[in-house]
Amino acid sequence: MQRASQSPVESPRSRRSDSLRSARQSLSLRRLDDSTWEERAVCYFFDQYTTKDQGDECLSHLGFLPSLYAVCRDGGPGGPVSSCLQWAVGATALVTLSNQVKAPSLMLQARDRYGMALRGLRQALESREQAVKDETFSAMVLLSLFEDISGDRKGLTSSHTAGFEFLMKLRGESQLGHAQGRDLFSFAYAHTHIEILVLGERPRYNTDWILEQLNKSDPIHGLMLIASKLSQLALETSSIPKSLDADLLRRVFEWHDAGRAMDTELTQWSEALPEKWLPLVVDSQTDEPLLTYRRISIAGIWIYYWAIRFIVQKIMVELSRTLVSATGDSALLQGEQEALGISHEAISATCRSIPFAFGHIDMQGNPIPPPPEGKPRIRGFLGYMMLWPLWYILSCGMATPAQTEQIRSAIGQVGSALGIRLALMLAQECDTPTTAPSIPDLYQFVPVMGQFSQM
């Protein structure tokens, strides 16, 4: 953790990726006034949801999409899947712009394109040759984005998760051999593991082979590796019977040790990060200092980190309680007290990161003036990547009233300012106390909270 220096720094809104420039060049628009609504929507969508891992940007989010779309639109090789991708881009772009400018007519066009893209995708999946193409996987990614931006999910689970798992398995190791394939894989892999960790879904295919292909020295891949192992632990411990035989008791001890080792891995991950990834501590007008970062995307990755660590503590508490019940060894309760401290530390760090992560302050902690009316403070993909971690922490019910209101407000900003209607659905779900599994009865340890210093 570092204290922020007082050197000048650009605001999070002052630096944009070159996605919009590339999109406009590839679309060959003469003037914005001469373009169609769909062309404007595509430019806006690329600006909001694509970025490349280059320069001082720390991750790529569909950064290949503008150029791939241009190739498909200009009649490059690809056949029917090229048309499918164009329809998927059009659908997702139109729904994005429709939500931003509140134009129902654009939504009607978006749903029309969505229907054509969905039919094209189903056709592509009937042929292995077509199914493994990047255009096909890209179309599925876009349709899942459409579902979340439009708020069309049936419940909390995505209708495209099974498709992601199928294509990741079908495409095999070769998809990790080039940047475009890795970008698509990262999106789908994060999507599926969110549903495992946050919603308790069970995977349909074995993805253990993926672990050997990821680069552990890369911070994002390193966090993905830990999340993958955590998903497996969460699945194995999801239904432990109350009565344990000797063999199952041994396995519970092993799971407990694995959870402790996983928490150590998370600590080591944070300690091994390059300096540019580390949080900066800045003073605030409140009693507690805030956390800022060199990029909003880095703040988003840290929010993921804290959510993953929070889930580890939840599992550790449940395993500790199972072992205490089975063995009568009350010394294991100390592990629950430690978990409570780390859990509240995770919530605190998340809340202290929100003002920067959502574009309200710059890296030095200075307030950023509100943008012109109708302009969001942050880009769409940034709000999208932070949505599920924030919702999980909120729905577990351990935040203080002030923290609860802060996280709920951030989720609301994703829904209202960024137009991602899934966020509005999640905000409503938070009113249902059984939405996400919470850490059971941790508040019996409230008196020991003072033993744990905040981050």
Reduce the secondary structure of 257-301 to three states and give it as a string: HHHHHHHHHHHHHHHCCCHHHCCEEECCCCCCCEEECCCHHHHHH
What's the Cα-to-Cα distance from 348 to each of 14, 306, 370, rounded to whole Å? 28, 10, 25
Question: What's the order of all strands across the beta sheet hosting 280-282?
Answer: 2-3, 280-282, 290-292
* Sequence-separated (6 or more) residues with CB below 8 Å from residue 283: 289, 290, 365
Rounded CA separation 191/390 (Å) = 15
Q: What is the pLDDT of residue 28?
A: 38
Mean pLDDT to the nearest integer, 194-201 = 91
Higher per-residue pLDDT: 77 or 233:
233
Mean pLDDT to the nearest integer, 195-199 = 92
Rounded CA separation 386/132 (Å) = 29
Mean pLDDT to the nearest integer, 429-447 = 45
Instruction: Locate 355 and state its tokens.
Output: 């003002």
pLDDT exceeds cutoff 70 at 372: yes
Rounded CA separation 413/50 (Å) = 20
Rounded CA separation 234/211 (Å) = 17
Q: What is the pLDDT of residue 334?
A: 80
The pLDDT-based confidence of 4 (bands split at 50, 70, 90) is low
The pLDDT-based confidence of 260 (bands split at 50, 70, 90) is very high
Most confident of 224-233, 279-288, 383-392: 383-392
Beta bridge partners of 62: 51
Average pLDDT of the chain is 86
Prediction pTM value: 0.86
The pLDDT-based confidence of 255 (bands split at 50, 70, 90) is very high
18 and 52 in contact (C-beta within 8 Å)? Answer: yes
Rounded CA separation 12/50 (Å) = 16
pLDDT exceeds cutoff 60 at 450: no
pLDDT exceeds cutoff 80 at 439: no
Q: What is the pLDDT of residue 213?
A: 79
pLDDT tens, residue by residue, 322-336? 999 899 888 888 878
One-letter amino acid at 202 equals R
pLDDT exceeds cutoff 50 at 443: no
pLDDT tens, residue by residue, 34-92? 789 999 999 999 999 999 876 556 788 999 999 999 999 987 656 789 999 999 999 99
> What SS3 state is found at 61?
strand
Higher per-residue pLDDT: 450 or 327:
327
Q: What is the pLDDT of residue 80?
A: 86
pLDDT exceeds cutoff 60 at 32: no
The pLDDT-based confidence of 20 (bands split at 50, 70, 90) is very low
Query: At CA 444, angle to CA 443 and CA 450, rounded to 5?
Result: 70
